[in-house]
Amino acid sequence: MSQPHILTRHMVANRTDSNTLASYEQSGGYSALRKGLNSMTPEQIRAEVKASNIRGRGGAGFPTGVKWGFLAPAEPRYLVVNGDESEPGTFKDRQLLERDPHQLVEGIIISAFALNCAKAFIYIRGEYPKPARRVQRAIDEARAAGYLGDNILGSGFSLDITLHLGAGAYICGEETALLNSLEGRRGEPRLKPPFPAVEGLYAKPTIVNNVETLSNVPWIVNNGGAAYAAIGPERSAGTRMFSLSGHVNNPGNYEIVMGLTWREFIYDLGGGVPDGRELKCWIPGGASAPWFTPDLLDTLVTIDDVGQNGSMLGSGAVVVMDETTNVVHAAHRLVRFFAHESCGQCTPCREGTTWLERVLWRIGHGMGRPEDIDLLLDVCDNISPGLRWPPAMTTICPLGPSATAPVNSIMTHFRPEVEAMIAANELVQGGVSIG
Amino acid sequence: MADTPQPELVTITLNGVDTEVRKGQLLIDAAEQAGTYIPRFCYQNRLKPVGLCRMCLVEVEGPRGTALVPSCTQPCTEGLVVDSENAVVHKAQEGVLEFLLLNHPLDCPVCDKGGECPLQDHTVAYGPGESRFVEEKRHYEKPIEISDLVLLDRERCILCARCTRFCDEISGDSLIEFVDRGNGTQILTFFDEPFASYFSGNTVQICPVGALTAKPYRFRARPWDLEAIESISMVDSVGSKVSVQTSQNQVLRINGVDSDTTNHGWLSDKDRFTLQAIHSEDRLRVPLVRKDGELVEASWGEALELVAERLGSVRGDEVAGLGAARSTNEEAYTFAKFLRSVVVTPHMDAQLDDALSDEFLAATLNRAEINDLETAGTILVWAGDLKEELPVLYLRVRRAATILGATLIVIHPRRTGLSDVADHVFTYRPGEGADTLRRLKAGDGPFAEARQALDSGPVMTIVGRTGGAEDPRLAESVAAFARTLPDAAIMPLARRANVYGALDMGVSADLLPGRVSVRDTEGRTALEDAWGPLPEGRGKHATEILQGLKSGDLKALITLGADPVGNHPQPALAGEAVESAEFVVSLDTLLNATSARADVVLPVAGFGESEGTATNLEGRVQKLNRIIPPPGQARTTWSVLDDLARRMGATLGAHDAETIMKEIASIAPAYAGIDWALLDWGEGRDGVVLPGPDGTQPLQHMPVETSVTATTGRFTLHLGRVLYDNADVVRNSPSLDVLVQPASAAFHPRDLAVLAVQPGDSVRLAGDYGTVELAVRADESLAEGTVYVQANMDNSRALGASLIVQVDAVRGEGS
Ligand SMILES: Cc1cc2nc3c(=O)[nH]c(=O)nc-3n(C[C@H](O)[C@H](O)[C@H](O)COP(=O)(O)O)c2cc1C
Ligand code: SF4
Ligand code: SF4
Ligand code: FES
């Protein structure tokens, strides 16, 4: 199955030094910037991005053009790029940062021009030193080449980009926690409203976009929003990066046009499950997403189809689990991650995620009790009432409810297996490695 | 004060019932006003809502169906549909309580909060019956001392952030923070800094569980054994509302009470913890009479007879009275009446010449209320460091500057507690205040922006002596300028709790009861109708009284809760005056430097032990209540004076305090219409600002600008107050006594270089009134040529308040 390259076109064509300015310019880099700044108005660029129908690649899938329309008029305004990528199984932004940092920088400059921001920040997780080095180098090269700084390409538009490294907290990927962290505060999500577009960084209007989202902007400006919208299904336009991992023969990042089936993705692109073992289940969109089972193999990989089936494409992390997976251990690993990463502000998440983690640990270690299943589900219900999709929350941000997804998934799809484990009550080894 | 506009109303549907509420009001408050209490932990009405605990979740209808939202962060808008009682809401509330209890130690039987704990109460009302948690609870080292006053038990903490928000938003002492994350989140101090805040007790009071406890109260009582009564703090002149809580006639706790007009519920730790002095071992319990040079116990009869005889043996105008600034109005009135009509002397002073003039304090035009801060556009503070002198007023000014957005200008000889939040900070060398004022008025150089800000009213000016050595006429000059500013309101400052009341009661050389000048013949005649003939002429002020005693013009001194030897700006003069006096009688609760040298000491009732009223720095009269009897044989001041009058062949008619207030209301013009029933039950529960409902104020003081000539000398003295000084109540409160730091001499670093001394070295300071040796400190905020010394400390008192001081390095041997 061949897939078009949009985001990865430059790194695929140039496998050795795609991160350098020279190589980027050689394959047409910064032509979108020239076009945008010299021949388009900010309104025109915003219109193209809106027409592209691109939806945010950071997890929530919010239409980028619509979000940009919410930016309040107050000055100064900021553009913040979310490169915190810390969800287990997600490693797509890393490749974009490391292998094509100029594409991102170009996207940022054009977007900042479109949004009338004189200052942009890139927030990259602290565990990404190499991508961060390359992004910084790209910023420096761009500044030296006159793409950044004062009066860019004679357009009268000036922009500065500052790179900031995180300090090891997944929650700082949540946009308002990220803004707090940038401001030097504790990385805790803020109450919404106000939304960042109205009151964001330093209480000023701010657009937060994912690395991948903005990396698409140069192509959209060069080729037009309509051309982008024409790729893939209407409400899941464009190509999208997926990080495939777990029990598959060909793990890695894939840029694909949405609208293929899961079977095509996992078996044709991913090469299927190793050693001919049976597929047991998969996570379609990151650790927060409810799990899919093989009966859904022929449904489509689109934002809407996945949503209708009670899950999400989220951050694009697809984690495959085969028949050898102990689902209690797998769920425990994921819940442990959320408990560890909870910022601790709000009661249900701080207390509830740890409680879930400890009960799952007991069951996994031969100390389960029959009543633990209902207990787990009821604790989940107290974090995410009704356990419905999209989730309701008693919490401030979606991290707490995310921890209920694995628990609810194993109880929905594998309850007899959990019951049997509790009945046998012995320590079972094994589990999928994630996180 | 500006009028409050009519609030806009909207209709919300609360549990199926349409209810009119204020637009934008928080749902949790609107619901409560409508009779529906929504449970809560993190919400506190004086702090910004944060929506952390999730206890107050309700279901709100939105465009995409219903959602659970915290009612403490939800503003009321037209058409809001809310359900606070359905099954989803109840399940969420029960869930939150269960989560909070998972790791809560449930050591309620040994927890100070047990019995008044929202967590206990909510668990009974909304919580699950049994725990489903079989894992081990979170463990932390049991209480850790985070300051000399406060202990933190992290196991009990429910992480509501009330304490941290108080410190960030209200006091500005951001010394405690959330540390770590997730299940390991905890409140802690920074590594090397204790939670040393003048306001730390407020965090203990608002902590919804027993995580923060105060050393002075720990394990002292169970809430259900406490009796409580509302009263007014008598630690300073703000008039903060308090709840005095006792068990078995011991005051065990003082909490703040939320009053819109004064303290918003907050107190300083001095307000809160000086209760220890009430039960000090050193409290005076029996009258003392000097025999063979020693003060020995005597009966009331013997002591009073002696006083009556000695006072009767000199001319009335050879007697003077000092004090009453910490007494109730009823006591102060009786004191003034006793001096003027029984002893027949005009010499009396409620102050010790250490603040502003009596007329300025009592009768200024355009006098400000504290709540003028809420509407002020610009605030000018040219006074002592409010954080040190009047901490609760500091909180209110800080709120105006940080939360309400007023422009704040602070002028003082060094940085103050408000400097960090002020828009314009000016420091100057003591003695050069007049020049600073001239430049401010002219908008000269660096003053330009501040001068401009003073044109956007309403302008509230808080004016006082910045330090003990400053000329009091400077403050009057500042006030004279402030009066010319748009919508001017002026608050002249003095610290002692009821100094304004004592002046209003006529404990003054210049004033008769009710803000009447002694020069006002009409007012004088009216008073003579009630009191009988009054002494002729203007009386002597404190310093003149001391000089008179020293020279022999005056023979006898009566002090009421005053300590001129310890507190007068000229300590040597005060000491000599008391030594030279033929007779000194002190009415007090504790022995101090003056009463220890008296001939007779009469023990009187103090805070919590007598009923009455007090008048705060706004001129607000509030009610003080009694909840315990005085110790030993101590009696109320008015009854002692009444008894004494009778023994001197006169009568004061002071039968009980309430009757005294009736007499005050009938005699003192500004107090007409004030009575206890109004203050206890009527519209005056938050106090009544004078003139009272039927009153007038015959004297209208107009501050005038006086040219104060600059004083020259190599060094001028800034004698500034700190909160924990040598005050009797501090020294007799063990929890605060340990916080008193010795005084030092601070200089600008360049002056240190010129003097060739380093921090830690000693200097000798010699002024007009005395000499001291102090350790040296650097303080970059001082102007060159200034030496800053903390007033009223053991090691600084002898210096006195002389503006010009000679500074010499003290060289050790070999250097
Ligand atoms: C717990 C949590 C973690 C998140 N982590 C990330 C992240 O690492 N990177 C990211 O781009 N968005 C992350 N998000 C989503 C952001 O809040 C935000 O929606 C996104 O950055 C917006 O960019 P987009 O519109 O381009 O997708 C996270 C959200 C939550 C609730
Ligand atoms: S849900 Fe969890 S991560 Fe999100 S704000 Fe609450 S405690 Fe923090
Ligand atoms: S110590 Fe008390 S006030 Fe502070 S966060 Fe904990 S429970 Fe809340
Ligand atoms: S009281 Fe509203 S969330 Fe705590």
**Ligand 2 pocket: which of A87, A384, A396 to mutate (most atoms <8 Å of CB)?**
A396
Q: Which amino acid is at B152?
A: L
3-class SS string, B306-350: HHHHHHHCCCHHHEEEEECCCCCHHHHHHHHHHHHHHHCCCCEEC
Region B29-49 average pLDDT: 97
The span from the CA of A237 to the CA of A391, in Å, is 24
Distance A345 CA to ligand 2 centre (A): 6
Per-residue model confidence (pLDDT) at position A109: 98
Using the predicted structure, report yes or no on whether residue A431 has a pLDDT greater than 50.
no
**How many domains does chain B divide into?**
4
For residue B787, the domain's CATH number is 2.40.40.20
| CA-closest residue to ligand 3 atom 8 | B160
Considering every ligand atom shown, identify the ligand nearest to the alpha carbon of residue B177 and give its number.
3
- Whether residue A60 contacts residue A195, with contact meaning beta carbons closer than 8 Å, is answered with no
Q: For residue A434, what pLDDT band results from cuts at 50, 70 and 90?
A: very low
Region A50-67 average pLDDT: 97
Q: Which of B23, B70, B69, B25 is nearest to B43 (CA)?
A: B70
Measure B386 CA to nearest chain A CA, in Å: 30
Mark yes or no for CB contact A340/B103 under 8 Å.
Answer: no
- Whether residue B350 contacts residue B321, with contact meaning beta carbons closer than 8 Å, is answered with no
Using the predicted structure, report yes or no on whether residue A426 has a pLDDT greater than 90.
no
Per-residue model confidence (pLDDT) at position A118: 97
% of chain A surpassing 70 pLDDT: 97
Check pocket membership of A296 for ligand 2, CB cut-off 6 A. no
Using the predicted structure, report yes or no on whether residue B1 has a pLDDT greater than 50.
no
- Whether residue A129 contacts residue A137, with contact meaning beta carbons closer than 8 Å, is answered with no
Residues B651 and B731 in one domain: no
Tell me the residue ranges of DSSP E strands in B590-711.
600-603, 612-615, 620-624, 688-689
The span from the CA of B273 to the CA of B250, in Å, is 13
Distance B134 CA to ligand 2 centre (A): 24
Residues touching ligand 1 (Cβ under 6 Å) are A 56-60, 62, 64, 67, 82, 84-86, 171, 173-175, 208-210, 213, 397-399
Q: Which of A230, A229, A228, A254 is nearest to A240 (CA)?
A: A254
B433: containing domain:
359-492
Check pocket membership of A257 for ligand 2, CB cut-off 6 A. no
Check pocket membership of A124 for ligand 2, CB cut-off 6 A. no
Region B410-426 average pLDDT: 98
Contact list in B for residue A344 (CB cut-off 8 A) is: 159, 178, 180-185
Contact list in B for residue A345 (CB cut-off 8 A) is: 52, 159, 185
pTM of the model: 0.96
Residues B673 and B773 in one domain: no
Domain segments of chain A as ranges: 9-229, 241-322, 327-424
Distance A290 CA to ligand 2 centre (A): 19
Q: Which residue of A has its CA nearest to B135?
A: A358
**Interval A334-364: pLDDT, tens:** 999 999 999 999 999 999 999 999 999 999 9
Using the predicted structure, report yes or no on whether residue B5 has a pLDDT greater than 70.
no
Mark yes or no for CB contact A394/B55 under 8 Å.
Answer: no
- Whether residue A346 contacts residue A316, with contact meaning beta carbons closer than 8 Å, is answered with no
Residues B772 and B675 in one domain: no
Residues B351 and B366 in one domain: no
Q: Is A343 on the interface with B (CB under 8 A)?
A: yes
Per-residue model confidence (pLDDT) at position A429: 56
Considering every ligand atom shown, identify the ligand nearest to the alpha carbon of residue A190 and give its number.
2
- Whether residue A222 contacts residue A35, with contact meaning beta carbons closer than 8 Å, is answered with yes
Mark yes or no for CB contact B73/A191 under 8 Å.
Answer: yes
Region A52-57 average pLDDT: 97
State in Å, rounded, how far the first CA of chain B is from the last one. Answer: 62
Distance A308 CA to ligand 2 centre (A): 26
Mark yes or no for CB contact B183/A342 under 8 Å.
Answer: yes
Using the predicted structure, report yes or no on whether residue A1 has a pLDDT greater than 60.
no
Ordered DSSP codes for A325-390:
--HHHHHHHHHHHHHHH--S-SHHHHHHHHHHHHHHHHHHBT---TTHHHHHHHHHHHHSGGG-SS
Q: Is A37 on the interface with B (CB under 8 A)?
A: no
Per-residue model confidence (pLDDT) at position A193: 93
Check pocket membership of B159 for ligand 3, CB cut-off 6 A. yes
Q: What is the pLDDT of chain A when averaged over all its residues?
A: 96
Distance A174 CA to ligand 1 centre (A): 5
Q: For an interface test with A, which of B27, B98, B180 has the most A Cβ atoms less than 10 Å from its Cβ? A: B98
Region A408-435 average pLDDT: 79
Q: What is the pLDDT of chain B when averaged over all its residues?
A: 96
For residue B40, the domain's CATH number is 3.10.20.740
Check pocket membership of A171 for ligand 2, CB cut-off 6 A. yes
Distance B73 CA to ligand 4 centre (A): 8
Tokens, residue B483: 């009066």
Distance A331 CA to ligand 1 centre (A): 22
| CA-closest residue to ligand 1 atom 14 | A174
Q: Which of residues 121-140 of A touch B (CB under 8 A)?
A: none
Contact residues for B289 (Cβ-Cβ < 8 A; gap 6+): B295, B296, B297, B298, B302, B303, B306, B599, B600, B601
Per-residue model confidence (pLDDT) at position A325: 97
**Interval B181-224: pLDDT, tens:** 999 999 999 988 999 999 999 999 999 999 999 999 988 898 89
Residues B464 and B523 in one domain: no
Residues B380 and B437 in one domain: yes
Contact residues for B154 (Cβ-Cβ < 8 A; gap 6+): B140, B141, B144, B186, B187, B188, B211
Tokens, residue B48: 């910004």
Contact list in B for residue A342 (CB cut-off 8 A) is: 181-183
Q: For residue A435, what pLDDT band results from cuts at 50, 70 and 90?
A: very low
Residues B502 and B467 in one domain: no
Can you tell me which residue has the tokens 């959330």?
B178
Contact residues for A23 (Cβ-Cβ < 8 A; gap 6+): A10, A14, A17
Q: For residue B4, what pLDDT band results from cuts at 50, 70 and 90?
A: low
**Integer CA distances (angstroms), A154 to A34, A37, A150, B418, in order:** 10, 9, 9, 48
Whether residue B321 is contained in a domain is answered as yes
Residues B631 and B727 in one domain: no
Contact list in B for residue A389 (CB cut-off 8 A) is: none
Per-residue model confidence (pLDDT) at position B814: 45
Using the predicted structure, report yes or no on whether residue B256 has a pLDDT greater than 90.
yes
Q: Is A174 on the interface with B (CB under 8 A)?
A: no
Fold type of domain A327-424: de novo design (two linked rop proteins) (1.20.1440)
Per-residue model confidence (pLDDT) at position B707: 79
Check pocket membership of B163 for ligand 3, CB cut-off 6 A. yes
Q: Which residue of B has its CA nearest to A337?
A: B182
Using the predicted structure, report yes or no on whether residue B271 has a pLDDT greater than 70.
yes
- Ligand 4 atom at minimum distance from B43 CA: 1
For residue B535, the domain's CATH number is 3.40.50.740
For residue B419, the domain's CATH number is 3.40.228.10
Q: Is A299 on the interface with B (CB under 8 A)?
A: no
Q: For residue B813, what pLDDT band results from cuts at 50, 70 and 90?
A: low
The span from the CA of A352 to the CA of A360, in Å, is 12
Whether residue B126 is contained in a domain is answered as no
Within 13 A of A33's CA, how many CA atoms are on the CB side? 28
Region A233-262 average pLDDT: 96
Query: Residue A377, exposed/middle/buried by CB under 10 A (0-12, 13-18, 19+)?
Result: middle
Q: Which of residues 367-406 of A touch B (CB under 8 A)?
A: 375, 379, 381-383, 385-386, 392-396
**Interval B292-305: pLDDT, tens:** 999 999 999 999 99
**Interval A111-159: pLDDT, tens:** 999 999 999 999 999 999 999 999 999 999 999 999 999 999 999 999 9
Domain boundary among B464, B492, B520: B492
Region B453-471 average pLDDT: 96
Residues B510 and B633 in one domain: yes
Mark yes or no for CB contact A341/B88 under 8 Å.
Answer: no
**Interval A80-119: pLDDT, tens:** 999 999 999 999 999 999 999 999 999 999 999 999 999 9
Cα dihedral sign, B221-B223-B228-B231: positive
% of chain B surpassing 90 pLDDT: 93
Mark yes or no for CB contact A347/B68 under 8 Å.
Answer: no
Whether residue B613 is contained in a domain is answered as yes
Whether residue B3 is contained in a domain is answered as no
Region A18-47 average pLDDT: 97
Residues B382 and B427 in one domain: yes
Per-residue model confidence (pLDDT) at position A2: 62
**Interval A191-204: pLDDT, tens:** 999 999 999 999 99
The span from the CA of A96 to the CA of A104, in Å, is 8
Backbone angles phi, psi at B613, to 5 degrees: -130, 160
- Whether residue B774 contacts residue B755, with contact meaning beta carbons closer than 8 Å, is answered with no
How many residue pairs bridge chain A and chain B with CB atoms within 8 Å of each other? 99
Per-residue model confidence (pLDDT) at position A57: 97
| B100 → closest Cβ in A341, A347, A354 | A347
Whether residue B672 is contained in a domain is answered as yes
Per-residue model confidence (pLDDT) at position B536: 85
CA-based max dimension of chain B:
91
Measured at the CA of A232, the angle between CA A227 and CA A233, to 5 degrees, comes to 115
CATH number of the domain at A241-322, out of 3.40.190.10, 3.90.1560.10, 3.10.20.600, 3.30.420.80?
Answer: 3.10.20.600
Strands B57-62 and A252-257: unpaired
Per-residue model confidence (pLDDT) at position B7: 84
Mark yes or no for CB contact B183/A350 under 8 Å.
Answer: yes
Mark yes or no for CB contact A348/B54 under 8 Å.
Answer: yes
The span from the CA of A240 to the CA of B635, in Å, is 87
The span from the CA of A277 to the CA of A247, in Å, is 9
Region B581-601 average pLDDT: 97
The residue among B4 and A180 whose pLDDT is bigger is A180
Q: Is B190 on the interface with A (CB under 8 A)?
A: no
Using the predicted structure, report yes or no on whether residue B683 has a pLDDT greater than 90.
no
**Interval B476-508: pLDDT, tens:** 999 999 999 999 999 999 999 999 999 999 999
Tokens, residue A43: 């309104």
Fold type of domain A9-229: Rossmann fold (3.40.50)
- Whether residue B807 contacts residue B787, with contact meaning beta carbons closer than 8 Å, is answered with yes
Contact list in A for residue B135 (CB cut-off 8 A) is: 355, 358-359, 362
Residues B576 and B536 in one domain: yes
Domain boundary among B85, B118, B140: B85
Using the predicted structure, report yes or no on whether residue B697 has a pLDDT greater than 90.
yes
Distance A130 CA to ligand 1 centre (A): 21
- Whether residue B801 contacts residue B574, with contact meaning beta carbons closer than 8 Å, is answered with no
Residues B656 and B515 in one domain: yes
Tokens, residue A348: 């249900």
**Interval B758-791: pLDDT, tens:** 999 999 999 999 999 999 999 999 999 999 999 9
Cα torsion through A260, A266, A272, A273, rounded to 10: -160
